[in-house]
Amino acid sequence: MFMGASTKQGQDIALKSREIVRSLISDKIEHLSLEEQSIVERIVHSTADVEYAEICHISSDFVKCSIESIKNGKDILTDINMVRAGINKYSGEVKCFINHPETIKMAKKEGITRAAAAMEYAAENGFKGIVVIGNAPTALYKVIELFEKGIMDIESVIGVPVGFVGAAESKYALKSSQIPHIITKGPKGGTPVAVAAANSLIQLSKDNKRRKPDEI
């Protein structure tokens, strides 16, 4: 299966689309590793927006830490259920606590968003793995806070919240942290970007497993 395609026609379309994407952005991502290029290509393919080739920033440790987490079957935590629903083909658990009763209680008690409270709830209940945020800057700020306080055990963060209020600032805060990450600079981002990055990592982890030892 390639890029989610499960039929011959679907695979042909996906391959053609990937060829077009590469022809449009190859010069913009040539400085990236092959794995990083694959992630950015998938984001551009999923959004039909070549600007992502220029606004994606990937920390040097992001791919390694993320693939290791996936290989070990650690959890993936998302900010909203739409992101959770889009992440597929993962043998581990993909979790979202935004609608959990305890999250709702916590949000009301602390006067914070449910997305932020969901991160607190996850941390309090032993979360360890990759955090994927495509919509809520408040969740991203909370993740950074919990990590810096030593409360949340994070392998890496896909931090691509979309919007004009807090999104760019929260991503800059993540970029300035010690957390392995991928971000999109400015207000752009959202569910399709977050899902594309996560699914690309899952595919990369499978490809990595299939390689011969001397190819790694």
Catalytic residues, which ones? 45
128/121 Cα distance (integer angstroms): 12
Chain mean position to CA 28? 21
Cα 149 to the center of its chain, rounded Å: 22
Structure tokens at 131: 């955090």
